[in-house]
Structure 1
Amino acid sequence: MARVRAALYLDFDNVFSGLIKQDPDVAIQFAKDPGAWLVRLTTSLTVDGPRRWLILRCYMNPGGWVPNPDTEANQPRLYYSQFRPFFVNAGFEVIDCPRLTHTKNAADIRMVVDAVDALADPVPYEEFVIGSGDSDMTPLLVRLRRADRRTTIVSPSDAAEAFTAVADRLITSQELLELVQGEPVDSDEAPVDPEQPVSYEQFRDLVTWRYTAATGPLNLASLAHDLRRQLGPSVDETSWFGNGGFVRALESLSLPNVKFSNHFLWDAARHDPPEAGVSTGPAPEPVGRLSALLSLPRLTREMWPPIYQSLAEYAAAHHFNLTEATRWARDQLAAQGVDVSRSAIAFVTRGTAFGGAPLYRQPPPNATEIAAAFADNVLSRAEAAAIALSDEETAEVRSWLGAA
């Protein structure tokens, strides 16, 4: 297969400072061994095929720094300049971008100018990889798209929807951390082959497993959503395997001791009935707005607290590693009958870190602190994106997220 002629423009300050808030150990590995993750990025998370790097540029503020996450180290600051030799040795052209104002350096401007200049080069670059989560890069991506170039964003945080929507591919911080650690980039679920119809037996096995593993009543809407995601279009094409509806399909399984209400099913021998008055309908309008504009995971109200609790348990018992944390929490939640994707858990973990309660903190944050930090981050991002929320709507969002 012919390799794609690619150019990589990396805003080191933006990516490194974003990663170190989420997983300091892997952020240091990213900065000290760029050659390793660059080799993996050559063939991983591609758009049109494996890449051939014709341009490798790293834009770095030589005087930039972040607080040293190792509180016992002699140096309280990690200066970016100490990582410069590693990028030079990996074949990058390192471009100094000193700070122009109190808070801003010239990296983004230099990256834009260099990328646009590259469009006029005699060699046609087919893919532009932009290492930055800065939405100021959106006009650049629009310009590259107009020139019929493929674009990939490597974002260290939850980038603005308008920014990521323009790119052909988004490499999330979780995927980047997996690349840095040499792990296979994980997917939340295996893709469904539309040519292979799903059988009733597969439906029965999945529901039976969820029902047996559940530690409490299962929300019917969430269960139906999860099964559609796992089983694909066959469930609707066959009208739930000839049963004419989801609940009728569940009833046909004759699960032991099963009880149904309007919104739940549960095992009468093992579970307490669902509490009266629990909100099980669709998310309130402000939450739906944040899901649409900030990519807030579309989870039901009762799914948020178990996520916080599982992350708190991981942080209390393990040396923190982001990719391990999301995988561990997903598996723990699945064992409780709560089906949440790793990407949703990673979204919470990132929000918690940027909200002021990173899981690597000592002492580790508890579930209440994680919930509060995550909600604070969501609302802070909403304000930054000019999403107007009244005091009542803000309280409604906090309540839905389990942080009231």
Structure 2
Amino acid sequence: MARVRAALFLDFDNVFSALIRQDPDVAIQFAEEPGAWLSRLTTSLTVDGPRRWLILRCYMNPGGWVPHPDPSSGQQRLYYSRFRPSFVNAGFEVIDCPRLTHTKNAADIRMVLDAVDALADQVTYDEFVIASGDSDMTPLLVRLRRADRRTTIVSPADAALAFTSVADRLIVSQELLELVQGEPVESEEDQVVVPSGEPAAEASYDQFRDLVTWRFTAAPGPLNLASLAHDLRRQLGNGVDESNWFGFGGFVRALESLRLPYVKFSNHFVWDDSRHGPPEAPGTTGPAPEPVMRLSAPLGLPRLPREMWPPVYRALADYAASHHFNLTEATRWARDKLAEEGVDVSRSAIAFVTRGTAFGGAPLYRQPAPDADEIAAAFADNVLNRADAAAIALTDDECAQVRAWLGAVDPKA
């Protein structure tokens, strides 16, 4: 397979400072072992095929720092310069970008100028990978698209919709941390439906068909999809996720491929329409209020019913109280725990909450660990802060509606 000629421009300060607020251990691994995740990124989360890195540039403020995440280290600051040799040894050209003002360095301007210069090179770069969550990069992506170049954004923070919508692919913090740790990257964008409808792995698919048929035939009532998927993962092993449910691109699509007699689906249940009535709707909260709907698209807010937010907070609180924090493990553990309770929430939605909680001031790695109410309040604070930053005007009453929908107590109440 032909390699895609790729250029990577990394705003180290932006990416590292966002990562360390979410998962300090893996953020440091990202900075100390760039060669490892770069090698994995060569063949993972691609647009047109495996990459051949022709440009590798890391833009770093040599005097930059973050508060040291380990109180036992005896150091108050963790300086970025500590990681400079790691990137040099991994083949990056490190561009020093000292701070020009109290809060701003020139990394974004240097990245833009270098990327535009690369467009004029004799070599044609097929893909530009921009590792930054700074929405100031939006005009650059527009320029690259006009030149018909593929673009990938690596953004561990919640970047603006105007920024991410221009790119061909977005790599979020959960995917980046999975790359750093060498775990299989679970990306919804990678799910592909097999055009022929044939299963990718016959033996496992046959077991899947037999188990589902038995459960469906014996069920006294509608089956909860989240619980059923959790049980099947436990019985069939990791192959179901590695094959994206046998090549069908999702659990429900795999179920539909079985063509079970009289089968009916809803958002949360599957049932035999000849034996069971439709399940009752899970909850009576009705549609989301208008202020919540106004925030959903610009902020990427998961469209969960009101009653599903508190279980997410409780699951994350339970994880934080009983585990040494790891973001990828936390989202997987919480998803499986919720599935056991019959609550169907995707890992991406849980990761969104976890990320928002960290930026809202109650990271799950904090000691003592935050409880469910603290997680809810921090997440709602982050949502409303992001709305304000995006110039989405909300009245006090509308802010209270958003907090109520998200299951957080209004601090003014």
TM-score after normalising by structure 2: 0.83
Q: Which moved more, 1:195-204 or 1:320-329?
A: 195-204
1:32-56 deviation line (CA, Å, top 9, x unaligned):
0100000000111000000000000
The SS at the match of 2:73 is coil
The partner residue of 2:365 within 356, 360, 366 is 360
CA positional deviation for 1:213: 7.7
Alignment match, 1:390: 395
Q: Are residues 234 and 334 of structure 1, via their aligned partners in 2, closer, same or farther at CA, if it must alter by over 3 Å?
A: closer
**Runs (5+) with no aligned partner, structure 1:** 215-227, 265-273
**Corresponding position of 2:303:** 298
Alignment of 1:135-146 (within 5 A): 135-146=135-146
Map 1:22-171 onto structure 2 (within 5 A).
Answer: 22-171=22-171
Q: What does 1:157-306 align with in structure 2 at a 5 Å threshold?
A: 157-187=157-187, 191-193=192-194, 195-196=196-197, 201=213, 204=216, 207-210=222-225, 230-232=251-253, 250=271, 252=273, 254=275, 261=280, 263-264=281-282, 278-279=284-285, 281-306=286-311
- Give 1:292 shift: 1.2
**Who is 1:315 aligned against?**
320
The 1:20–1:197 alpha-carbon spacing in structure 2 relative to 1, beyond 3 Å, is same
Measured after TM superposition, the shift of residue 285 of structure 1 is 1.2
The runs of 5 or more residues in structure 2 that have no matched partner are: 200-208, 230-248
Q: 2:345 aligns with which of 340, 343, 351?
A: 340
The offset of 1:288, in angstroms, is: 1.1
The offset of 1:144, in angstroms, is: 0.2
Change (3 A) 1:121 1:349: same
- Distance in 2, matches of 1:354 and 1:211, equals 29
Give the C-alpha shift of residue 190 in structure 1. Answer: 5.8
**Is the CA contact (8 Å cut-off) linking 1:174 and 1:322 kept in structure 2?**
yes
Structure-2 change in CA distance of 1:52 and 1:362 (3 Å):
same
Contact kept in structure 2, 1:333 and 1:340, CA below 8 Å: yes
Contact residue 11 and residue 132 of structure 1 kept, 8 A: yes
What's the secondary structure of 1:129's corresponding residue? strand
Q: CA deviation at 1:212?
A: 7.2
Matched AA of 1:140: L
Q: In 1, Cα distance between the equivalents of 2:376 and 2:250?
A: 26
Q: Distance in 2 between matches of 1:110 and 1:306?
A: 45
Per-residue CA deviation, residues 53-100 of structure 1 (Å, 9 max, x unaligned), is 000000000010000010111211000011000000001000010111
Contact 1:241 1:249 in 2 (8 A): no
The CA distance in 2 between the partners of 1:196 and 1:13, in whole Å, is 45
Secondary structure of the residue that 2:49 maps to in structure 1?
A: coil
Deviation at 1:107, TM superposition (A): 0.2
Range with bigger deviation, 22-31 or 387-396: 387-396
> Once the 2 structures are TM-superposed, how far is the Cα of residue 354 of structure 1 from its aligned partner?
0.2
Task: Name the CA distance, whole Å, in 1 between partners of 2:270 and 2:26.
Answer: 46
Structure 1 contact 203–231 (Cα < 8 Å) conserved: no
1:213–1:336: 8 Å Cα contact kept in structure 2? no
Q: Which amino acid aligns with 2:133?
A: G
Distance 2:290 2:385 in 1: 18
Indicate the SS of the match to 1:55: strand
Give the corresponding residue for 2:236. Answer: none
Distance in 2 of aligned mates of 1:290 and 1:371: 17
CA distance in 2, matches of 1:243, 1:358: 43
What is the identity, as a one-letter code, of the residue corresponding to 1:356? G
- Assess, with a 3 A threshold, how the Cα gap between structure 1 residues 89 and 245 changes in structure 2: closer, same or farther: closer
Q: Spell out, residue by residue over 1:239-287, the C-alpha distance to the aligned partner (whole angstroms, 9 max, x if none).
A: x9767985997473646xx8965x34xxxxxxxxx7xxx41x2211111
| Compared CA separation, residues 73 and 4, structure 1 to 2 (3 A) | same
Give the direction of change, closer, same or farther, for the CA distance of 1:173–1:243 in structure 2 (3 Å limit): closer
How many positions carry a matched residue from both structures? 373
Cα separation, 1, equivalents of 2:147 and 2:402: 41
Equivalent position of 1:267 in the other structure: none
* Aligned 8 A contact 2:225 2:270 in 1: no
What does residue 223 of structure 1 align with? none
Q: Is the 8 A contact 1:304 1:402 kept in 2?
A: yes
Q: Percent identity?
A: 72
Q: Bigger CA drift: 163-172 or 242-251? A: 242-251
Q: CA contact under 8 A between 1:10 and 1:58: conserved in structure 2? A: yes
Structure 2 counterpart of 1:285, one-letter code: E
1:60–1:94 Cα contact (<8 Å) kept: yes
Partner of 2:380: 375
Distance in structure 2 (CA, Å) of the matches to 1:259 and 1:121: 62
Which residue identity does 1:312 align to in structure 2?
A
- Indicate the residue corresponding to 2:246 in structure 1: none
Q: CA RMSD in A?
A: 2.9
SS in 2 for 1:10: strand
Change (3 A) 1:299 1:62: same
Any idea what the Cα deviations from partners look like across 1:285-344, whole Å, max 9, x if unmatched?
111111111110000000000000000000000000000000000000000000100000
Counterpart position of 1:225: none
- SS of structure 2 residue aligned to 1:360: coil
Closer, same or farther: CA 402–121 of 1 in aligned 2, 3 Å: same
